[in-house]
Amino acid sequence: MTKKDSPIKIIAQNKMARINYEISDTFEAGIVLVGTEVKSLRDGRANLKDSYAQVQNEEVFLHDLHISPYTHGNRYNHEPLRTRKLLLHKREIKRLYGRTQEKGFSLIPTKLYFKNGKIKVEIGLGRGKKLHDKREDLKRREDEREIERHFRGRG
């Protein structure tokens, strides 16, 4: 297996993002980290639950991503909830900024993963769902399961 064929290893996922938001576009971004953060992520110690991204001064920053302190770290260990910079192309940042200025759109990280030895963040451009939208999605999923169960029992 060559380096280009290396598989994507998911570190953390934000499963609530798809439930609470209607994600229209996704972007892959690099993330600026310090050494102990990378070591902690290799152990799979991250939480995307309450995190969000914001465009500030033509740069994108990720807020409230919790990366636990490295267990074998020393006094130079990282701050778990610090703001981290995301690496995107200038045209992507401009597009994200324009879309987030529209009413109701937010930048939500959906995945944190390794790709070719680098840590990447998938951020989604999403609009918050209302309670009735969540109920409709739940009903649709239950109906699909019921139909699949019916056809499975038939064969």
Give the C-alpha separation, 136 to 132, whole Å: 6
pTM: 0.77
* Number of Cβ atoms within 10 Å of the Cβ of 149: 10
Single out the residue of 105, 110, 114 nearest to residue 44, CA to CA: 114
Question: Counting every residue, how long is the chain?
Answer: 155
Give the C-alpha separation, 78 to 97, whole Å: 29
Give the C-alpha separation, 60 to 42, whole Å: 24
Q: Taking a C-beta distance cutoff of 8 angstroms, is the pair 108, 17 a contact?
A: yes
The pLDDT tens digits of the residues spanning 81-140 come to 889 999 999 999 999 898 888 887 889 999 999 998 899 999 999 888 788 777 888 888
The pLDDT tens digits of the residues spanning 52-96 come to 999 999 999 999 988 888 888 777 788 888 899 999 999 999 998
Does domain 9-129 match CATH 2.40.280.10?
yes
